[in-house]
């Protein structure tokens, strides 16, 4: 196997998802078929009732034998399932492995972006305010996130499970007295992963996600984070400015380090 090292921004994302699944309420294993497995520094996760690609995938696995083990496990699960690979840097043997299993790319992939703490730039403040969610806000955080992502309310306990847990900072954005958006951050070993950015449809393009980026950067800086990482949908070439998420991240100082393609497992 040729050297194909795993970047730390990929490792911190995998850590976040492993932790997210481990702290989920136990009843979801039976009611929602929640399952996960560690594979080296990566993982495979499955929550078939969630339409989100991020909750049904193989992540941060680069050894071919480990990929095969994860593939066999995920193949036995339900729902739409994916393997995420940085295709541009992948060795030929990995690309061949994908081809042999009949997996095809879906969409434009995900842009992976990072930001050294020393380069962090807060975005212009608007009328949206943010608040760190405590245990008493777990239900509200989960409801707001599910509304923002368009998830079934049955998934609210999954998101509520991370509130108040070690290494997690979760925020709710408010417009006047209305909760309109959410954002989460997982921190470990000087790295932070930003995720869970969801805004209720009727409140989009009002500055909520910019405010949540600021809140997480400020919180991370105060807690010793040295590098922030995040992923968002890869915009089409020449349309980067049309992607609100991508544009906000770039304005805050994030720089794209690679694009991770999404390969769907055959049904």
| Residue 242 in this model has a pLDDT that exceeds 70 | no
By the 8 A CB rule, do 183 and 213 touch?
Answer: yes
Here the tokens at position 6 are 């795993």
Distance CA 43, CA 91 (A): 20
Overall domain count for the chain:
2
Tell me the percentage of the chain whose pLDDT exceeds 90.
92
252, 137: one domain:
yes
Question: Which of helix, strand or coil describes residue 28?
Answer: helix
Report the pLDDT value the prediction gives residue 237, as an integer from 0 to 100.
81
| Per-residue pLDDT tens digits for 153-199 | 999 999 999 999 999 999 999 999 999 999 999 999 999 999 999 99
| Per-residue pLDDT tens digits for 25-36 | 999 999 999 999
234, 138: one domain:
yes
pLDDT class of 64 with cuts at 50, 70, 90? very high
Q: Distances from the Cα of 203 to the Cαs of 35, 62, 122, 137, 141, in angstroms?
A: 33, 39, 21, 20, 16
Domain CATH for 229: 3.40.630.30
128, 165: one domain:
yes
Alpha helices in the chain (DSSP H): 8-22, 27-31, 64-75, 92-100, 138-149, 156-160, 208-222, 244-251
- Residue 42 — φ and ψ, nearest 5°? -110, -160
pTM of the model: 0.95
Distance CA 83, CA 57 (A): 5
Alpha helices in 109-207 (DSSP H): 138-149, 156-160
Q: Domain ends where: 85, 108, 131?
A: 108
Average pLDDT over residues 73-87: 96
Report the pLDDT value the prediction gives residue 2, as an integer from 0 to 100.
46
Task: Give me Rg for the CA atoms of the chain.
Answer: 18
By the 8 A CB rule, do 1 and 149 touch?
Answer: no
Q: Domain ends where: 44, 75, 108?
A: 108
By the 8 A CB rule, do 21 and 36 touch?
Answer: yes
Report the pLDDT value the prediction gives residue 1, as an integer from 0 to 100.
39
């Amino acid at each position: 196997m040729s050297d194909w090292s795993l970047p730390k921004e990929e490792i911190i994302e995998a850590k976040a998802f492993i932790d997210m699944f481990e702290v989920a309420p136990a009843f979801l294993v039976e009611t929602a078929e929640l399952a996960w497995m560690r594979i080296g520094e990566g993982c495979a996760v499955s929550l078939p009732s969630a339409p989100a690609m991020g909750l049904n995938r193989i992540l941060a696995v680069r050894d071919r034998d480990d990929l095969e083990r994860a593939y066999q496990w995920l193949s036995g699960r339900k729902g739409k399932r994916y393997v995420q690979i940085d295709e541009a840097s992948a060795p030929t043997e990995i690309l061949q492995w994908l081809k042999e299993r009949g997996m095809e790319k879906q969409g434009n992939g995900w842009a992976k972006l990072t930001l050294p703490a020393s380069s962090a730039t807060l975005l212009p403040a608007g009328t949206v305010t943010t608040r760190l969610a405590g245990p008493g806000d777990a239900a509200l955080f989960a409801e707001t996130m599910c509304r923002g992502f368009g998830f079934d309310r049955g998934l609210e306990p999954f998101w509520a499970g991370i509130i108040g847990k070690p290494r997690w900072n979760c925020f709710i954005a408010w417009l006047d007295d209305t909760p309109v958006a959410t954002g989460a951050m997982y921190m470990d070993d000087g790295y932070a992963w930003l995720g869970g950015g969801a805004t209720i449809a009727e409140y989009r393009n009002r500055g909520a996600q910019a405010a949540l980026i600021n809140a997480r950067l400020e919180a991370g800086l105060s807690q010793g984070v040295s590098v922030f990482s995040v992923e968002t949908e890869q915009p089409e070439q020449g349309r980067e400015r049309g992607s609100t998420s991508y544009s906000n991240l770039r304005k805050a100082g994030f720089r794209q380090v690679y694009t991770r393609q999404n390969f769907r497992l055959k049904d």
